[in-house]
Structure 1
Amino acid sequence: MSATIAFAQSGIIRGQLTSSETGEELIGATVVIKSISNGAATDLDGKFNLNNIAPGTYEVQASYISYEPKTVTGVVVKANEVTVLNIQLGSATTKLQEVVIEGRAIKSSENTLRNTQKKAAVVMDGVSAEQFSRSGDSDAAAALTRVTGISLEGSKYVYVRGLGDRYVKTSLNGAEIPGLDPNRNTVQMDLFPSNLLDNLTVSKTFTPDMPGSFSGGFVNITTKDFPDRFTLQLSTSVGYNDQATFNNKFLSSNKGKTDWLGYDDGTRAVPDAINYTIPYESFTNKQQAEQIDQATKAFNTDMGPTRITAPINRSHAFSLGNQTELFGRQLGYVVGLSYQRNFSYYNNGTFGLWELNSAGASRLNNNSLYEDEKGVEEVSLGFLSNFAYKFNSNNKLSLNLMRNQSGSNSSRFLFGTFPAISGVNDGRAIFESRALHYTQRALNSAQLKGEHVVPGLNNSKIDWLTSFTLSQQDEPDLRFFANDYYLNGSDTTYRIQLAAYTLPARFFRDLDEINLDVKVNVETPFEIWNGLEAKTKFGAAALLKDRKFRENIYRYRFNEGYGYNGSITDFFSPEKLGIVATPQDPESGGIYRYGVYLQDGTQRTNNYDGEEAVYAGYGMIDLPLTEKLRVVTGARVEVTDIFVQSFNKSLEPGDLNQVDVLPSVNATYSLTDNMNLRAGYSRTLARPNFREIAPYTSFDFVGEPAFTGNANLERTTIDNFDTRWEWYPNLGEYISVSAFYKNFQNPIERTINTLAQNNEIFIQNVDNAKVYGLEFELNKRLSFVAPFLENFILGSNLSLIKSEVSIKALELEQIRAVRPNADDTRPLFGQSPFVANASLTYQSEPLGLMATANYNVFGDRISAISVGGTPNIYERSRPMASIVVSKRLGDAFTAKLSADNLFNPEFVNSHEYNGQEYIYSSYKQGRTFSAGITFLID
Structure 2
Amino acid sequence: MQRKSATVMDGVSAEQFSRSGDSDAAAALTRVTGLSIEGSKYVYVRGLGDRYVKTSLNGAEVPGLDPNRNTVQMDLFPANLLDNLTVSKTFTPDMPGSFSGGFVNITTKDFPDRFTLQFSTSIGVNDQTTFNGKFLSSNRGKTDWLGFDDGTRAVPEEINFEIPFESSTNADRAEKIDRATNAFNQEMAPVRATAPVNHSHSFSLGNQTELFGRQFGYVVGLSYQRSFSYYNNGTFGLWELTSKDAEGLLVESLLEDERGVEDVSLGFLSNFSFKFNNNNKISLNLIRNQSGQNSSRYLNGIFPETSGVYDNRAIFESRALHYTQRALSSAQLKGEHLLPGFMNSTINWLGSFTLSQQDEPDLRFFANDYFVTGTDTAYRIQPAAYTLPARFFRDLDETNLDIKVNITTPFKIWNGLEAKTKFGAAALRKDRAFRENIYRYRFTNEYDYNGSILDFFAPENLGVVSQPGDPENDGLYRYGVYLQDGSQRTNNYDGDETIYAGYGMIDLPVNEKLRVVTGARVEVTDIYVESFNKSLNPGELKQVDVLPSINTTYSLTEKTNLRLGYSRTLARPNFREIAPYTSFDFVGEPAFTGNANLKRTQIDNFDARWEWYPNVGEFLSVSAFYKNFKNPIERSINTLALNNEIFIQNVNNAKVYGLEFEVNKRFSFISPALENFVGSANLSLIKSTVSISERELEQIRAVRPDAESTRPLFGQSPFVANASLSYQSDPLGLVATASYNVFGDRISAISIGGTPNIYERSRPMVNMVVSKRIGQHFTAKVAAENILNPEYKNSHEYNGAEYIYSSYKLGRTFSFGLTYLVN
Range into which the TM-score falls when normalised by the shorter chain:
over 0.9
Rounded to whole Å, the distance in 1 between the matches of 2:322 and 2:582 is: 19
Give the aligned residue type for 2:179.
Q
Tell me how far apart the structure 1 counterparts of residues 254 and 598 of structure 2 sit (CA, whole Å): 34
Hey, what does 2:83 align to over in structure 1?
Answer: 198
**Structure 2: distance between partners of 1:643 and 1:424:** 43
One-letter code aligned to 1:896: K
**CA separation in 2, counterparts of 1:756 and 1:920?**
24
Q: Deviations over 1:707-763 (max 9, x none)?
A: 332222221111000000001100011000000000011112234679988874432
Write the letter of the residue equivalent to 1:570: D
Which residue of the other structure, out of 602, 622, 645, is the alignment partner of 2:507? 622
CA contact (8 A) 2:362 2:392 kept: yes
Aligned with 2:175: secondary structure? helix
Give the secondary structure class of the aligned counterpart of 2:104: strand
- The one-letter code sitting in structure 2 at the alignment partner of 1:855 is Y
Residue correspondence of structure 1 range 157-196 to structure 2 within 5 A = 157-196=42-81
Structure 2 distance, partners of 1:516, 1:425, is 52
SS of the counterpart of 1:692? helix
Distance 1:170 1:425 in 2: 47
Aligned length: 822
TM-score (norm 1): 0.86
Query: Contact 1:710/1:764 (CA < 8 Å) preserved in 2?
Result: yes
Post-superposition Cα deviations, 1:536-558, rounded to whole Å, max 9, x if no partner, equal: 00100011000000011111111
Asked if 1:380 corresponds to 2:265, the answer is yes
- What does residue range 733-748 of structure 1 map to in structure 2 within 5 Å? 733-748=618-633
- 8 Å CA contact 2:99–2:571 kept in 1: the answer is yes
1:779 aligns with 2:664: yes
Residue 9 of structure 2 is matched in structure 1 by: 124
Assess, with a 3 A threshold, how the Cα gap between structure 1 residues 185 and 426 changes in structure 2: closer, same or farther.
Answer: closer
Distance 1:480 1:161, change over 3 A: same
Which residue matches 1:456? Answer: 341
Alignment CA distance shift 1:412-1:708 (3 Å): farther
2:356 counterpart residue number: 471
2:19 matches 1:134: yes
Structure 1 partner of 2:557: 672
- Paired residues for 1:9-28 under 5 Å: none
- Distance, in Å, in 1 between the alignment partners of 2:584 and 2:72 is 21
The Cα shift of 1:244 comes to 1.1
Letter in 1 for 2:320: A
- Residues 546-604 of structure 1: per-residue CA shift (max 9 Å, x gap): 00000111111111100001111110111111111012189x99321111111111100
Query: What's the CA shift for 1:516?
Result: 0.2
Contact 1:482/1:702 (<8 A) preserved: no
Confirm whether residue 270 of structure 1 aligns to residue 155 of structure 2: yes
Asked if structure 1 preserves the Cα contact closer than 8 Å seen for 2:497 and 2:527, the reply is yes
Matched, 1:834 2:737: no
Structure 2 counterparts to residues 479-558 of structure 1, below 5 A: 479-488=364-373, 490-558=375-443
1:656 corresponds to which letter in structure 2?
L
Larger Cα-atom Rg: 1
Distance 1:699 1:434 in 2: 18
Pick closer, same or farther for the CA change 1:705–1:885 going to 2, 3 Å.
Answer: farther
Structure 2 counterpart of 1:244, which letter? T
- Partner of 2:192 in structure 1? 307
| C-alpha spacing 1:144/1:325, structure 2 compared with 1 (3 Å) | same
1:649-705 deviation per Cα after TM superposition (whole angstroms, max 9, x unaligned) = 112221111111110000000111111000000001111111122233334543334
Q: Does 1:635 align with 2:520?
A: yes
1:566-581 maps to which residues of 2 (within 5 A)?
Answer: 566-581=451-466
CA contact (8 A) 2:639 2:699 kept: no
Match of 1:875 in 2: 760
SS at match of 2:699: helix
Distance 1:885 1:757 in 2: 58
Which runs of 5 or more residues in structure 1 are unaligned? 1-115
State how 1:329-728 maps to structure 2 within 5 Å.
329-420=214-305, 427-488=312-373, 490-584=375-469, 590-728=475-613
In structure 2, the partner of 1:82 is none
- CA–CA distance in 1 between the matches of 2:200 and 2:494? 37
Query: What does residue range 888-927 of structure 1 map to in structure 2 within 5 Å?
Result: 888-927=773-812
- Residue by residue over 1:72-130, the C-alpha shift from the partner in whole angstroms, topping out at 9 and shown as x without a partner, is xxxxxxxxxxxxxxxxxxxxxxxxxxxxxxxxxxxxxxxxxxxx110000000000011
Distance in 2, matches of 1:543 and 1:243, equals 46
1:641–1:295 CA distance, 2 compared to 1 (3 A): same
* Contact in 1 for aligned 2:302/2:312 (Cα 8 Å): no
Q: Determine if the alignment matches structure 1 residue 854 to structure 2 residue 744.
A: no
Q: Is contact 1:472-1:512 (8 Å) kept?
A: yes
Provide Cα deviations, 1:867-892, integer angstroms capped at 9, x if missing partner: 42111111111100100000000110
Cα displacement (A) at 1:363: 0.5
The alpha-carbon deviation at position 764 of structure 1 amounts to 2.3
Letter in 1 for 2:61: E
The code of the aligned residue for 1:441 comes to R
Pick which of 425-434 and 231-240 moved more.
425-434
Task: Return the alpha-carbon distance in structure 2 between the equivalents of residues 849 and 609 of structure 1.
Answer: 54
> C-alpha separation between the residues in 1 aligned to 2:541 and 2:616?
48
CA distance in 1 between partners of 2:483 and 2:317 (Å): 21
Deviations 1:614-671 (A, max 9, x none): 1100000000000110000000011111111110111222111111111000000011
Three-state SS of the structure 2 residue aligned to 1:870 is coil
Q: SS state of the match for residue 2, structure 2?
A: helix
Task: In structure 1, give the amino acid aligned to 2:352.
Answer: S
Q: Determine the C-alpha separation between the residues in 1 that align with 2:19 and 2:639.
A: 46
After TM superposition, the runs of 4+ consecutive aligned structure 1 residues lying more than 4 A away are 420-428, 752-760
Letter in 2 for 1:651: L
Alpha-carbon distance in structure 1 between the residues aligned to 2:694 and 2:481: 49
**Which residue type is aligned with residue 815 of structure 1?**
I
Between the aligned partners of 2:243 and 2:204, the Cα distance in structure 1 is 62
Where 1:829 maps in the other structure, the secondary structure is coil
Displacement, 1:507?
0.7
Q: Does 1:225 align with 2:110?
A: yes
Deviations 1:466-525 (A, max 9, x none): 000000000010111111122356532211111111111111111000100001000000
- Indicate the RMSD between aligned Cα atoms, in angstroms: 1.7
**1:142-153 alignment, distance < 5 Å:** 142-153=27-38
In structure 2, distance between residues paired with 1:117 and 1:744? 27
**CA distance in 2: counterparts of 1:124 and 1:474, whole angstroms:** 35
Distance 1:535 1:356 in 2: 60
The alignment status of 1:236 with 2:83, answered yes or no, reads: no
Answer whether contact 1:545 1:611 (CA < 8 A) is retained: yes
TM norm structure 2: 0.98
Cα deviation, 1:428-487, whole Å, max 9, x if unaligned, reads 421111110000000000000011000011210001000000000000101111111223
Contact 1:441 1:471 in 2 (8 A): yes
Of residues 619-628 and 806-815 in structure 1, the stretch that sits farther from structure 2 once superposed is 806-815
Show the counterpart of 2:813.
928
Mapped to 2, the partners of 1:649 and 1:753 lie a distance apart of 23
- TM-aligned CA deviation for residue 390 of structure 1: 0.7
Identity of aligned residues (%): 80
Deviates more, 1:365-374 or 1:467-476: 365-374
| Unpaired segments ≥5 residues, structure 2 | none
2:203 maps to 1:322: no
The residue type paired with residue 822 of structure 1 is: A
Q: Provide the rounded CA distance (Å) in 2 between the counterparts of 1:639 and 1:363.
A: 50
SS of residue matched to 1:300: coil
The separation in 2 between residues aligned to 1:576 and 1:807, in whole angstroms, is 52
Determine if contact 1:754/1:866 at 8 Å carries over to the other structure: no
Distance 1:846 1:798 in 2: 33
CA positional deviation for 1:865: 1.7
